[in-house]
Amino acid sequence: MIQIEGLTKQYGATTVVDAVSFNIERNSIAVIVGTSGSGKSTLLRMINRLVEPTAGRVLLDGADTRSEPAHLLRRRIGYAIQGHGLFPHRTVAENVATVPRLLGWPEERIRSRVQELLEIFQLDPGLYADALPHQLSGGQQQRVGVARALAAEPGVLLMDEPFGALDPIIRAKAQEDLLGIQRRFGTTMVLVTHDMDEAFRLGHRVAVMRQGQLLQYDRPAVLLTHPSDPFVARMTGLTDRAMKLLALTTAGEAALPGGSDGPCVASSASLRDVLSELLWSGAASALVLGEDGSPRGQLPVAAILARGRP
């Protein structure tokens, strides 16, 4: 659990972050969105004290982050950034081993941890462990960056636009992988982005910032249905908010009892995708299948449309 209390950063007369307070639940993903200059990166960097706050404090599992030297604090908090920041003179394995080495892990434990992470991130250790970062593709470099941030099994992972430099297809894959990692390790994640779609896809809760102030911090569906501020409504998008709302619910959650002779959809598919499928096929309802392929129920168009209203 991360508690952010009245966090403020001023540079001279300019207030970059203005008395922001919110809590991030353990094992959840919080996404901070805002336009450039909204103070979102500064807010993130105050959590691991890369930027020292002017006022306010951050509590990590109840303990003030200022109670230990900043560099020791940062070894317990994963940190991944846009453009990955990999050390160009170190191999992939050495990059990933950075924090465990700083913490003085035994060599054997470091080696097995690096091996494990490379496998999780689909980087064959035999091929890539001894490669230098510039020999990897952009997507691979980004995965190594996240693997390095997770190497010492931190309870918290901070990410600043980690997927900003990736093309859309690789980005979607990276987002999927990140959700998988979060489910697997239960890491509490705080992610900064300017991309509302990314925020909705990843965030359990989303914080919208403008000019240093936190406008709203809530679940994505609430941001869509009850925006606290016209700016939040503009950020979330006015024209396709119904579609965005549908995208937040899966077919499994919305399925009604009964069968259907319409197209089959996976229970993990979003209602947006199911609706698209129904429009395309002209059917009135879809059959929802569980992960094992057995029918879970049906989804008529009307039930989907009802979910797209606030």
Partner 1 sequence: MSGANLLRLAALGLLIAFLVSPQTFAPLFAPLTRYGAPPIYDQGNLLALALAQLATVCCAAVASTLFAVSLGVLVTRPAGAQFLPLSRTLVNIGQTFPPVAVLAVAVPLVGFGEKPTLIALFAYGLLPIFENTIAGLRSCPPAVLEAASGMGMSARERLRWVELPLAMPLILEGVRLSLVINVGTATIGSTVAAKGLGEVIIAGLLSSNTAFILQGGLVTGLMAVLLYDGLRTVERRFLRAAPLD
At closest approach, how far in Å is the CB of 124 from partner 1?
20
Q: Phi first, then psi: what are they for 227, rounded to 5°?
A: -65, 135
Rounded Cα gap, residues 80 and 144, in angstroms:
10
Please count the residues of this chain forming the interface with partner 1, following the rule CB under 8 A. Answer: 29
The reply to whether 194 sits near partner 1 by the rule CB under 8 A is: no
What amino acid is encoded at 222 in this protein? V
**Closer to partner 1 by Cβ: residue 99 or 269:** 99
Three-state secondary structure of 28-79: CEEEEEECCCCCHHHHHHHHCCCCCCCEEEEEECCEEHHHCCHHHHHHCEEE
Per CB under 8 A, the segment of 87-95, 116-124, 238-246, 284-292 that binds partner 1 is 87-95
Rounded Cα gap, residues 49 and 44, in angstroms:
9
Give the one residue of 75, 111, 194, 219 binding partner 1; rule: CB under 8 A: 75
Q: What pairs with residue 289 in β-bridges?
A: 266, 295
Q: CA gyration radius for the chain?
A: 21
The reply to whether 183 sits near partner 1 by the rule CB under 8 A is: no
At closest approach, how far in Å is the CB of 151 from partner 1?
9
Written as six digits, the tokens of 175 are 């987002």
**Closer to partner 1 by Cβ: residue 41 or 298:** 41
The reply to whether 164 sits near partner 1 by the rule CB under 8 A is: no
Give the one residue of 2, 31, 58, 79 binding partner 1; rule: CB under 8 A: 79
Give the one residue of 42, 82, 188, 270 binding partner 1; rule: CB under 8 A: 82
The reply to whether 85 sits near partner 1 by the rule CB under 8 A is: yes
Rounded Cα gap, residues 275 and 284, in angstroms:
10
Give the one residue of 67, 134, 282, 293 binding partner 1; rule: CB under 8 A: 134
The reply to whether 73 sits near partner 1 by the rule CB under 8 A is: yes
Q: Is 16 helix (H, G, I), strand (E, B) or coil?
A: strand
Per CB under 8 A, the segment of 77-85, 179-187, 213-221, 255-263 that binds partner 1 is 77-85
Tell me, rounded to whole angstroms, the distance of Cα 96 from its chain centroid.
20
Print the binding letters for residues 89-108 with partner 1: x by CB under 8 A, - otherwise: x--------xx--x------
At closest approach, how far in Å is the CB of 155 from partner 1?
14
Residues with Cβ within 8 Å of residue 122, at least 6 apart in sequence = 143
By CB atoms closer than 10 A (0-12, 13-18, 19+), residue 281 is exposed
Helix axes 138-150, 107-120, angle to 10 degrees: 140
Rounded Cα gap, residues 77 and 59, in angstroms:
13
> Which of 197, 136, 187, 134 minimizes the C-alpha distance to 163?
197
**Closer to partner 1 by Cβ: residue 92 or 251:** 92
Give the one residue of 132, 170, 222, 301 binding partner 1; rule: CB under 8 A: 132
Print the binding letters for residues 28-67 with partner 1: x by CB under 8 A, - otherwise: --------------------x-x-----------------
Q: Could you list the residues that contact partner 1 (CB under 8 A)?
A: 48, 50, 71-77, 79, 81-89, 98-99, 102, 132-135, 145, 148, 158
